[in-house]
Chain A
Amino acid sequence: MAVSSSSFLSTPFLSNSKSTISFAYSVSPAPIPSLRRVVFRSHRRAMTVRSKIREIFMPALSSTMTEGKIVSWLKTEGEKLAKGQSVVVVESDKADMDVETFYDGYLAAIVVGEGETAPVGAAIGLLAETEAEIEEAKNKAASKSSAAVAPSPPPPPATSSPAPAIAQPAPVAAVSDGPRKTVATPYAKKLAKQHKVDIGSIAGTGPFGRITASDVEAAAGIAPSVAPPPPPPPASAAATAKATATSSPPLLPDSSVVPFTAMQSAVSKNMIESLSVPTFRVGYPVNTDALDTLYEKVKPKGVTMTALLAKAAGMALAQHPVVNASCKDGKSFTYNSNINIAVAVAINGGLITPVLQDADKLDLYLLSQKWKELVGKARSKQLQPHEYNSGTFTLSNLGMFGVDRFDAILPPGQGAIMAVGASKPTVVADKDGFFSVKNKMMVNVTADHRIVYGADLAAFLQTFAKIVENPDSLTL
């Protein structure tokens, strides 16, 4: 139902209904003298195109329209367009209308995002003729606001490029998986497109290895927007009901409500989820004199305390595989083939757990190097999904703040988490009754009691303490 521009002009007064109109283009530096004529003239002008990048203008949908709001972009950046296809829905003072393209090409850049408003005649997007020109068009879009060529009345549009909420870029295609067909569910595909995640790079965890929405969400580093509706277990339903009932006291005057960022909602969701796991805690004092000595020695070589503790935990886990196991379905143990230590890191306004993979096998120096790399990536939000969600055991250290002990919440999907306090000089009495001062730190482990029992955890901690107290094996 392409409405040609001429027929559009012949019926300029559109009733208050949804209908379709084709949009205006011109060569980008063309001045825009009259709002109404843009549609018409630019269409003709297209004959004399030099550059193959065209601007998509806010069309005048009625005689009284001065600005329009973008209801939705029907196409995403980089998507191929065919002549006559609807590209964007514009809301005028009267109606919502589909705006169609006159040209084949690619939607190179969206200049005015959904929900934003632009004056009639302003560029709302750029269309490139070939794929190769997309980049060029993008650069153009970026410099658009400064390059006010036309002395015409409509001001250049605000170029607030709508950045995705979280800055996890599309992961680079990782391991070549062979030519296996990727199967992704409809919603997973939609989400991948929305968050610009390359679906081919995601490992599917759904039934038959298919990629599900949660896989894409994990890859994009976001929390699922709405929990799926399956009947919740009565207990947790009651808990949530109670929570909502009590959690809405009236706001105090001048209070502000700041919505969660994607990362914060992911944390929130994980924390709520953790409530369904029966956990218990075991604490253990560990003498760190030897470890401190070792640390002083290896510190110049770039070894961090985190790496030392992760290595020690990894070695201890190797001897107590059940603590490295997880309980996925409430019916079985899942013994993990690798020991991957996730380490909690506070980053600006959030919390993320980069993972040191194979912490038991990697040597201390490699581990330290790897850690530095991960922290750097975490700070710049460059972590790949497998670098923050493949942990089998978590380490959280608040010792640097002087915290002497704390207990941690077990992240869903793992068997245990270790909370490490500060190492402090402590007066101890040995078995002969002699007092001495030794550096001691409190280590507190929270574990899933469905699979890890008290004795298991105690034995693991004993092994961990032995390794820390005789740390030479750490450097082997």
Chain B
Amino acid sequence: MQSAFSLSFSQSSLTLPNRPLCSSNASPRNLRREAFGFSPSKQLTSCRFQVKSRRIEVSAAAGGNGAPSNKSFDYDLVIIGAGVGGHGAALHAVEKGLKTAIIEGDVVGGTCVNRGCVPSKALLAVSGRMRELQNEHHMKSFGLQVSAAGYDRQGVADHANNLATKIRNNLTNSMKALGVDILTGFGSVLGPQKVKYGKDNIITAKDIIIATGSVPFVPKGIEVDGKTVITSDHALKLESVPDWIAIVGSGYIGLEFSDVYTALGSEVTFIEALDQLMPGFDPEISKLAQRVLINPRKIDYHTGVFASKITPAKDGRPVMIELIDAKTKEPKDTLEVDAALIATGRAPFTNGLGLENINVATQRGFIPVDERMRVIDGNGKLVPNLYCIGDANGKLMLAHAASAQGISVVEQVTGRDHVLNHLTIPAACFTHPEISMVGLTEPQAREKAEKEGFKVSIAKTSFKANTKALAENEGEGLAKMIYRPDNGEILGVHIFGLHAADLIHEASNAIALGTRIQDIKLAVHAHPTLSEVVDELFKAAKVESPASTTPQSVKATV
């Protein structure tokens, strides 16, 4: 449920450096087309990826999505699945001059746009405002008076649906505008470099990317009826707001929904199999988050238990949830609630892909790939010309990770070796306030340090010390950086607080570009902004090595 916007924005940002070359009133989309048509290819490749000296190998781009470079194939690249990952790959492929087709069996946009990040952000936008309006104390501290806040459920649901439609159209149009062939029907792999879609349309391609994504995972024993026992797919339609809903799983999907439901007046019970809520977050962050997002809200929880059986409400009975101890499997408790949301993660959607034709065996449904997203077959050998990106490979189930993987694959098939560093991919949870992270958690970093024999230090800053946060009456929050004091390398950054999801990118970019703390701490942040929280973090770090030579920007202005 991560930001879908990151994709469309990052794509259009690719064209920005070209702006001076184009007519001044061109819309971004036209801009892009013109750029492809008329500008030299060097310009096109110059952004986003640090292409060192070898950037020229790209074929003489131009011509939009023209003819395949190799006449024996219908396409240079065929992508199965038009989610955010496939879309990102397709756009980048066209930019690189590949004749590209994308196959979609359902709707363009996939999970993120239709049943994930995008509609959930609409619901969370509503919940954030409701929460604020309902918080009398908060309003009073601003000197504001607001009479009782209410909402219209259908209106909220429509907002989410409209947003999904809008983003889906944007995605479709951006591909059409570039001339990507959108082929409708379920796609499957017939053999090497051969794909079938729809009933019996067969096409050939030099390279194939599988990007079929995932569906909500429902553990066995749980009966989903779509009304009282639901997954995120149903919940995002907001067909009802139950008085009391149990959320199975306290990861970011569960957390975000607890934020939505409690703001709309529901009470929530979390069921978490691990001993602690919010597993996967840095422990310090999850402890603080629990104090802010769970304890003061109408939420209780059961940890260390599995929901072994969930029966939907029927015959005048409520939803029944049987809990067993996660370790001993002994029955522990039975819950009676009005609804249950299953947020236990997502399962890859890889059935019917024809993987047997190329001797690929999935692992728990995931398609095994190497670090370059190349598919590995049953004998441990690489399948030539076949790649798998996104949720289907299970490396990092985030929309923007899928897109980054897709771009990485396109880089490879166009002659530039590229390995995506997953530790540079930020993640965010859009609760109020938000949680964001990049890189390692503190325990992970300490383990790594132990193994590799280096020292780890922690720097922390509080939102309480930030002027902008205090002006917003949102001083609750913490930013934490894990780093190497010897060379100033950033290992991980975790933020809990107002707009944390937007603040993380300074850190993730620094990690991706290899910027060291001693250098970035000299960069200037506008005052007063929330970004100073991160600035403080860099400045609070105690690094032994000196700053490197004067940064470019300083030279330029002197």
Name A's B-contacting residues (CB within 8 A). Answer: 1, 15-19, 74, 86, 89, 95-96, 98, 181, 183, 185-187, 189-190, 206-208, 210, 213, 226-232, 237, 240-241, 244, 248
Q: When A186-B300, A241-B147, A244-B145 are in contact, do A16 and B267 touch as well, CB less than 8 Å?
A: no
Q: When A185-B244, A186-B298 are in contact, do A229 and B264 touch as well, CB less than 8 Å?
A: yes
- Asked whether B460 lies within 8 Å of A207 as measured between CB atoms, the reply is no
Q: Tell me if B355 is interfacial: C-beta within 8 Å of chain A.
A: no
Q: How far is the CB of A330 from chain B (nearest CB, A)?
A: 19
Taken together as a complex, chains A and B put the C-alpha atoms of A98 and B464 apart, in Å, by 16
- Asked whether A231 lies within 8 Å of B478 as measured between CB atoms, the reply is no
Q: When A186-B298, A189-B300 are in contact, do A237 and B148 touch as well, CB less than 8 Å?
A: yes
Q: How far is the CB of A133 from chain B (nearest CB, A)?
A: 28
Taken together as a complex, chains A and B put the C-alpha atoms of A359 and B164 apart, in Å, by 62
- Asked whether A230 lies within 8 Å of B265 as measured between CB atoms, the reply is yes
Q: When A185-B267, A228-B265, A229-B264 are in contact, do A208 and B148 touch as well, CB less than 8 Å?
A: no
Chain A residues whose C-beta falls within 8 Å of the C-beta of B540 in the assembled complex: 15
Q: Tell me if B150 is interfacial: C-beta within 8 Å of chain A.
A: yes
Q: Tell me if B218 is interfacial: C-beta within 8 Å of chain A.
A: no
Closest to A245 in B: B147
- Asked whether B283 lies within 8 Å of A208 as measured between CB atoms, the reply is no
Name B's A-contacting residues (CB within 8 A). Answer: 130, 134, 136, 145, 147-153, 243-244, 264-265, 267-269, 283-284, 287-288, 291, 298-300, 317-318, 334, 336, 338, 459-462, 464-465, 478, 480, 540
Taken together as a complex, chains A and B put the C-alpha atoms of A141 and B14 apart, in Å, by 67
- Asked whether B459 lies within 8 Å of A15 as measured between CB atoms, the reply is yes
Taken together as a complex, chains A and B put the C-alpha atoms of A89 and B295 apart, in Å, by 14
Q: How far is the CB of A127 from chain B (nearest CB, A)?
A: 21
Taken together as a complex, chains A and B put the C-alpha atoms of A231 and B145 apart, in Å, by 19
Q: Could you give 18 example pairs across A and B, Cβ below 8 Å? A: A1-B283, A1-B287, A16-B465, A18-B288, A18-B460, A74-B291, A185-B298, A186-B267, A187-B298, A206-B243, A207-B243, A213-B267, A213-B298, A229-B130, A229-B134, A230-B150, A237-B150, A248-B145
- Asked whether B299 lies within 8 Å of A232 as measured between CB atoms, the reply is no
Chain A residues whose C-beta falls within 8 Å of the C-beta of B480 in the assembled complex: 17
- Asked whether A16 lies within 8 Å of B149 as measured between CB atoms, the reply is no
Q: How far is the CB of A14 from chain B (nearest CB, A)?
A: 9
Q: How far is the CB of B538 from chain A (nearest CB, A)?
A: 13
Q: Is the interface of B mostly helix, strand, loop or mixed?
A: mixed
- Asked whether A1 lies within 8 Å of B284 as measured between CB atoms, the reply is yes
Chain B residues whose C-beta falls within 8 Å of the C-beta of A15 in the assembled complex: 459-461, 540
Taken together as a complex, chains A and B put the C-alpha atoms of A185 and B148 apart, in Å, by 23
Taken together as a complex, chains A and B put the C-alpha atoms of A181 and B465 apart, in Å, by 48
- Asked whether B460 lies within 8 Å of A208 as measured between CB atoms, the reply is no
Among candidates A186, A227, A248, residue contacting B244 with C-beta atoms closer than 8 Å: A186
- Asked whether A229 lies within 8 Å of B150 as measured between CB atoms, the reply is yes
- Asked whether B298 lies within 8 Å of A16 as measured between CB atoms, the reply is no
- Asked whether A190 lies within 8 Å of B300 as measured between CB atoms, the reply is yes
Chain A residues whose C-beta falls within 8 Å of the C-beta of B464 in the assembled complex: 16, 95-96
Chain B residues whose C-beta falls within 8 Å of the C-beta of A213 in the assembled complex: 267, 298
Among candidates A208, A231, A237, residue contacting B336 with C-beta atoms closer than 8 Å: A208
Among candidates B151, B244, B300, residue contacting A231 with C-beta atoms closer than 8 Å: B151
Taken together as a complex, chains A and B put the C-alpha atoms of A248 and B143 apart, in Å, by 13
Taken together as a complex, chains A and B put the C-alpha atoms of A186 and B459 apart, in Å, by 36
